[in-house]
């Protein structure tokens, strides 16, 4: 089995998780940019933005737990993405109450996606 411990190939479950990350990110980013620019359709779609964003977090955590279970090396950026994603989502709700700028929320989520893509690609090779 490709997914067994000690196998150093690309993991199919982590791959599925990252597909979810990309799909959710695309939807969350489009709606998020709509909110940022004050588009009325986008503020009405805030629950879809949050749903897509939560799918991103589920995808990252799926890949993280899976690769960690296989004791892959180079997991640092993957764990960082998993934790930063939660922090970034929290900043989203803080942005809603006006406590932080929505830009900060967006930048943290962009960093999260970058770390996840980079980390999972590296851990998949390890
Ligand atoms: C996945 C990547 C994500 C990106 C790129 C992203 C990006 C954005 C952007 C650009 C905005 C508009 C900011 C503003 O005008 O204030 C926004 C707003 C918001 N986001 Fe996200 N977001 C993401 C994920 C999430 C997640 C996971 C949650 C929480 C479950 C979330 C919750 C919110 C909320 C509540 C707002 C409204 C803030 C406001 O009313 O100003 N977002 N997001």
pLDDT digits (tens, 9 = 90+) for 38-75: 999 999 999 999 999 999 999 999 999 999 999 999 99
Residue at 2 is within a domain: no
**Is 91 a residue whose pLDDT tops 60?**
yes
Encode pLDDT of 113-124 as tens digits.
Answer: 999 999 999 999
User: How many CB atoms lie under 10 A from the CB of residue 32?
Assistant: 23
Contacts of 48 (CB under 8 A, 6+ apart): 27, 31
Using pLDDT thresholds of 50, 70 and 90, give the confidence band for residue 17: very high
Q: Which residue owns the Cα nearest ligand 1 atom 5?
A: 29
Helix-then-strand count for the chain, H and E: 5, 0
Residue at 54 is within a domain: yes
Q: What is the pLDDT of residue 7?
A: 56
Residue at 6 is within a domain: no
Mean pLDDT of the chain: 94
Q: Is 37 exposed, middle or buried (0-12, 13-18, 19+ CB in 10 A)?
A: exposed
Q: What is the pLDDT of residue 108?
A: 98
Please identify which residue in the block is written with the tokens 């939660």.
Answer: 86
Contacts of 110 (CB under 8 A, 6+ apart): none
Residue at 104 is within a domain: yes
Q: What is the pLDDT of residue 126?
A: 84
Full domain range(s) for residue 30: 12-125
Q: Which residue owns the Cα nearest ligand 1 atom 6?
A: 106
Number of domains in the chain: 1
Average pLDDT over residues 94-110: 95
Q: What six digits make up the tokens of 46?
A: 């805030």
Using pLDDT thresholds of 50, 70 and 90, give the confidence band for residue 9: confident
Residue at 29 is within a domain: yes
Which of 22, 82, 95, when mutated, tests ligand 1's pocket best, judged by the most ligand atoms within 8 Å of its CB? 95
Task: Tell me which residues have their CB closer than 6 angstroms to ligand 1.
Answer: 25, 28-29, 32-33, 35-36, 46, 49-50, 53-54, 56-57, 89, 92-93, 95-96, 102, 105-106, 109
Residue at 80 is within a domain: yes
Q: Which residue owns the Cα nearest ligand 1 atom 18?
A: 32
Residue at 59 is within a domain: yes
Separation CA 126–CA 51 (nearest Å): 32
Average pLDDT over residues 83-104: 96
Please identify which residue in the block is written with the tokens 């994603």.
Answer: 85
Residue at 17 is within a domain: yes
């Amino acid at each position: 089995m490709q997914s067994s411990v000690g196998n150093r190939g690309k993991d199919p479950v982590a791959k599925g998780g990252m597909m979810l990350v990309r799909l959710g990110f695309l939807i969350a980013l489009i709606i998020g940019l709509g909110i940022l620019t004050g588009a009325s359709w986008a503020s009405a779609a805030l629950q879809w933005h949050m749903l897509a964003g939560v799918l991103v977090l589920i995808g990252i955590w799926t890949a993280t737990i899976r690769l960690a279970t296989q004791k892959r090396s180079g997991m640092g950026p993957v764990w960082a993405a998993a934790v930063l994603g939660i922090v970034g989502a929290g900043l989203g709700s803080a942005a809603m109450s006006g406590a932080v700028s929505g830009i900060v929320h967006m930048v943290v989520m962009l960093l999260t996606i970058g770390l996840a893509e980079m980390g999972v690609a590296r851990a998949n090779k390890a």
